[in-house]
Every structure is written in structure tokens, then in C-alpha cells.
Amino acid sequence: MGDAVEWDETEREWMLALQTYEAAHVCPVCGMDIDFCHDEATVRQVFQRSDVTTCFVGEMREKSMRAFAESGEVVAPNSQTTKLIATTE
């Protein structure tokens, strides 16, 4: 209770529909529709090559986890996550 989000019936139906859609269509690796990204011939036809770019939020999270791991014992390496802390001025 307390801070629980109260959704009406329509909102619950939309969320369930979204979950159903994502479970059936959204690739957990790349986020694209699996009908596309799991079709090797189509992917190779559409994209001729790829480049490496950097997500700097992801980089920041990696640095935090590396510093945390180096500072002591990591108990649950696949369950620990990072929290972005906004700059306050």
C-alpha cells in the first residue's frame, strides 16, 4: 500500500498489452523487433556495417562498478547496479 501506484482498469490493460507485446516482439539484446533482428539475411541486407560508439552513461556506470569491485568483495556481481547521482548547483 502506501506509495503503491494506483492504476485504473484501462491502464492495467495497456500495461499488460505492452508486456505481452514486448515478450513476443522485443529482442532483449538489441531492443528491436525479433522478427527483424533474428533474420540474418534481412539484417545483413539492411545494415552493411556497424560502427562502435560509446554511451557515456553506460561508461559512467562501468567505472562505478569497476571502482566498487576493486574496493572490496563483490557479493552479487549480477545483481548489483549503479545509481546516477545528478550534479546539484
**Cβ distance 1 to 9 under 8 Å?**
no
Burial of 10 (0-12, 13-18, 19+ CB in 10 A): exposed
- Residue pair 15/8 in contact (Cβ under 8 Å)? The answer is no
> Residue from 26, 37, 61, 65 that binds Zn ion (CB under 5 A)?
37
Residue 40 CB, nearest approach to Zn ion (Å): 11
Residue nearest to Zn ion (CB): 27
CA 83 – CA 47 distance, rounded (Å): 34
| The binder of Zn ion chosen from 15, 17, 18, 30 (CB under 5 A) | 30
Of 4, 5, 23, 29, the one binding Zn ion by CB under 5 A:
29
Cβ nearer to Zn ion, comparing 32 with 57? 32
**Residue placing its CB nearer to Zn ion in the complex, 26 or 65:** 26
Residue 40's φ and ψ, nearest 5 degrees, are -55, -45
Q: Which residues bind Zn ion (CB under 5 A)?
A: 27, 29-30, 37
